[in-house]
């Protein structure tokens, strides 16, 4: 009789442990990124907070269950007021653990910007703005700012010599000033 009681208690403890452990296992290790992604690139704007990142992940179809993502993010201390921005390539069938490690690590995917015939600052700004976070107006304002031009050793007349036709690998959240460098 004692043996039966001990086996029942052990079985109940194991069952209780499984009931408690499964949600944590699900939050960290089961795939939460779908097997099919329409676009594997997640763009997180500079200065985004955690809620905005969760919204981007949900709206872009990058996570199937936002509640498990939030649970894993909280346990991994990923939640911050100012999240790391950039363009991230998300792999299919990733777990929340993989996704959070990737986003936290800042492993951004670059964008290729090809300048061929663009020589005027307006044309360069329009072309580059299609590939990086800043818009063409912000880029053009930086290109024509006399203080910045002087800092780089250029004038309005010589600025077009800065933009050499080539293929440039840039991060999506490259600032206009970084682009000029």
Cα separation, 70 vs 141, whole angstroms: 39
Query: What are the tens digits of pLDDT across the range 40-57?
Result: 999 999 999 999 999 999
Q: How many residues does the chain have?
A: 181
What tens digit of pLDDT does each residue of 64-86 get?
Answer: 999 999 999 999 999 988 999 99
Q: How far is the C-alpha of 124 from the C-alpha of 160, rounded, in Å?
A: 9
Burial class of 109 by CB neighbour count within 10 A (0 to 12, 13 to 18, 19+) = middle
94 within 8 A of 33, measured Cβ to Cβ: yes
Of 125, 165, 129, the closest CA to residue 145 belongs to 125
pLDDT for the residue 160? 86
Nearest Cα residue to 57 out of 22, 105, 102, 26 = 102
Read off the pTM: 0.86
**44 or 9: which leads in pLDDT:** 44
């Amino acid at each position: 009789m004692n043996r039966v009681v001990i086996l029942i208690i052990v079985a109940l403890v194991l069952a209780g442990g499984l009931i408690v452990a499964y949600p944590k296992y699900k939050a960290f290790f089961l795939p939460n990124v779908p097997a099919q992604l329409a676009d594997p690139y997640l763009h997180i704007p500079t200065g985004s907070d955690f809620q905005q990142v969760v919204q981007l992940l949900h709206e872009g179809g990058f996570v199937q269950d936002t509640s498990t993502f939030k649970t894993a993010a909280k346990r991994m201390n990923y939640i911050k007021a100012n999240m790391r921005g950039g363009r991230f390539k998300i792999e299919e069938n990733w777990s929340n653990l993989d996704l959070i490690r990737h986003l936290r690590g800042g492993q951004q995917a670059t964008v290729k910007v090809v300048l061929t015939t663009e020589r005027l600052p307006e044309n360069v700004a329009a072309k580059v703005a299609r590939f990086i976070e800043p818009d063409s107006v912000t880029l053009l304002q930086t290109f024509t700012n006399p203080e910045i031009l002087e800092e780089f050793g250029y004038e309005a007349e010589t600025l077009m010599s800065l933009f050499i036709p080539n293929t440039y690998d840039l991060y999506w959240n490259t600032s206009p000033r970084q682009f000029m460098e």
